[in-house]
Amino acid sequence: AIATGKGNLVLFVGSATGKDGIGGASFASADITEESAQDLPAVQVGDPFQEKKLLEACLEVIQTGAVVGMQDMGAAGIICSTAEMSAKGKAGMNIHLEKIPTRQANMKTWELLLSESQERMLLVAEKGKEQAVMDVFKKWDLPCAVIGEVTDDGLLNFYMHGQLEASLPAEELVLGGGAPQYDRPFSQPKYFEQLRAFDARKVPQPDQYITIAEQVIQIPSIASKRWVYQQYDSMVGTSNTSTNSPSDAAVISIKNTKKALAVTTDCNSRYVFANPYKGAMIAVSEAARNLVCSGAKPLGVTNCLNFGNPYDPEVYYQFVEVIKGMGEACRKFDTPVTGGNVSFYNQNPDGPVYPTPTIGMVGLLEDVANKMTLDFKAAGDVIYCVGEITDDINASQYLAKICAVNFSPAPYFDLEKEFLLQQKLSSFIDNKLIQSAHDVSEGGLFLTLCESGFHQNLGFAIKTQKVIRKDAFLF
């Protein structure tokens, strides 16, 4: 994603530009009120087939050797892509907006600049090699147009039919350049006092564990989502290896190789609400654990960070602590953050949403034959709980939904122990010492055991530990 080389050509590739999504990024960064509903931008309509063609064409065009740099057009559209690519290459661009393929007539300059239409890329090609690029996109029946050229003055010049409409330094629009950076005030949320006041000894232990177990498994965030995902084709492209053999992460084979990718998303917003720093570390760690339980090595992270109004010092405190915790865990697992987004202002008159830093993580299996599944394989097999079991019900769904206790600290967590546990689990799988692996997370050990038994219609018999209260052991 870089623009270099004076005179190199700037190409627009992908779906034609429309008015959809204009102002989407700014709308996402404003308080939601009854009045703001009137400002709702046209929603971008995705076209998965067009996106697939664009991805395949981009992979193919890289092989031509004509591509200098390439970046997708996301939030803020063309103006964002041109600025980021130019700033990274210490270059500028002259862009001729009338050359952009459009699907709506008479689009205005600012609409062309800010449209967030989907399935579009900005590409810089070596001058003289542009035909090789255009031939690839013609093969894939995708719009491709030369819309400008790279300059060496660091300026973004936007023209419409030869008339200069805007001119500004690319550096002024990017973080680390002239874009404003804020040092906002933040303070620990007042509800932390309620968290510190929690005493698990005051929570009565249940008598009817069967009834409690039935209630836990029906909590919406825990209950099976099979009725949703079974409505979709799980065999598109025939690369999904998880359809008939469930695992903690989705495992997708890479054609013509033995390798496979493992993909997962994770976040427990209750943990983050209780302790933003620790909760963010747990979110990253659980994503990594899902990959490891599937036989993969974690490679990288993307994120979707959801918070309330950043002008609220308590909300901004959550954000600051989450970034610290996420960074600490990513460094530990050696998983760089390749991208993501931040959505602020998620609140209503009742207050902000729970801080929710959703973590997307991808991992690699060198040999898809080493994929590990989560289901029990046969009656009589021995079940092991690997790792430390603690007398802890903090921030659990059981505590919140069954016991109606909404303020408790985050559960016990040790990043170093988590890392070592995952290393050990990887060695178990690599040496083919185990037949299944499933992480313990929301719903506790009880739900983990249930999910492991469902696929083969197997049950389980376990012993609880007397030194740990039974509800903490199970839920």
Pairing of strands 67-72, 120-125: antiparallel
Could you give the CA distance from residue 290 to residue 263 in angstroms, rounded to a whole number?
9
- pLDDT of 31 reads 62
- pLDDT of 26 reads 56
CATH of the domain at 405: 3.30.1330.10
- On whether residue 160 sits in a domain, the answer given is yes
pLDDT tens sequence across 326-378:
999 999 999 999 988 899 999 888 899 999 999 999 999 999 999 999 999 99
Identify whether residues 139 and 244 lie together within a single domain.
no
Q: How far apart are the first and last CA of the chain?
A: 46
For residue 96, which of 83, 80, 113 has the smallest C-alpha distance?
113
- On whether residue 45 sits in a domain, the answer given is yes
Phi/psi region, residue 384 (left: phi>0; alpha: psi -120 to 50; beta: rest), is: beta
DSSP character for 268? -
- Asked if 1 and 84 touch (Cβ cutoff 8 Å), the reply is yes
- pLDDT of 199 reads 93
- On whether residue 1 sits in a domain, the answer given is no
Among residues 121, 146, 173, the one where a domain terminates is: 173
Identify whether residues 259 and 344 lie together within a single domain.
yes
- On whether residue 456 sits in a domain, the answer given is yes
The one-letter amino acid code at 427 reads S
Longest dimension (CA), the chain: 81
Identify whether residues 97 and 137 lie together within a single domain.
yes
Identify whether residues 300 and 445 lie together within a single domain.
yes
Identify whether residues 125 and 211 lie together within a single domain.
no
Could you give the CA distance from residue 223 to residue 209 in angstroms, rounded to a whole number?
18
- pLDDT of 464 reads 87
For residue 6, which of 74, 84, 92 has the smallest C-alpha distance?
92
Identify whether residues 121 and 149 lie together within a single domain.
yes
Spacing of C-alpha 194 from chain mean position? 31
Identify whether residues 86 and 196 lie together within a single domain.
no
- Asked if 154 and 90 touch (Cβ cutoff 8 Å), the reply is yes
Identify whether residues 388 and 324 lie together within a single domain.
yes
The one-letter amino acid code at 426 reads S
- pLDDT of 1 reads 83
Spacing of C-alpha 305 from chain mean position? 8
For residue 13, which of 96, 122, 164 has the smallest C-alpha distance?
122
Domain range for 440: 192-474
Identify whether residues 396 and 335 lie together within a single domain.
yes
SS3 label, residue 20:
coil
Identify whether residues 200 and 163 lie together within a single domain.
no
Among residues 142, 173, 204, the one where a domain terminates is: 173
Structural domains counted in the chain:
2
- HSE-CB at 468 with a 13 A cutoff on CA atoms is 15
- On whether residue 153 sits in a domain, the answer given is yes
- pLDDT of 22 reads 74
Spacing of C-alpha 179 from chain mean position? 25
Among residues 128, 144, 173, the one where a domain terminates is: 173
Q: How many CB atoms lie within 10 A of CB 378?
A: 8
pTM: 0.85
- On whether residue 455 sits in a domain, the answer given is yes
Pairing of strands 92-96, 155-160: parallel
SS3 label, residue 343:
strand
CATH of the domain at 123: 3.90.650.10
- On whether residue 417 sits in a domain, the answer given is yes
Phi/psi region, residue 216 (left: phi>0; alpha: psi -120 to 50; beta: rest), is: alpha
Along the 475 residues of the chain, how does pLDDT read in single tens digits? 888 999 999 999 998 888 876 765 555 555 655 555 555 555 667 788 889 999 999 999 999 999 999 999 877 889 999 999 999 999 999 999 999 999 888 889 998 998 888 899 999 999 999 999 999 999 999 999 999 999 999 999 999 999 999 999 999 888 777 777 788 899 999 999 999 999 999 999 998 999 999 999 999 989 888 888 778 776 676 677 777 778 999 999 988 899 999 999 999 999 999 999 999 999 999 999 999 999 999 999 999 999 999 999 999 999 999 999 999 999 999 999 998 889 999 988 889 999 999 999 999 999 999 999 999 999 999 999 999 889 999 999 999 999 999 999 999 999 999 999 999 999 999 999 999 999 999 999 999 999 999 999 999 999 988 889 999 999 9
Identify whether residues 223 and 108 lie together within a single domain.
no
- On whether residue 183 sits in a domain, the answer given is no
Identify whether residues 359 and 402 lie together within a single domain.
yes
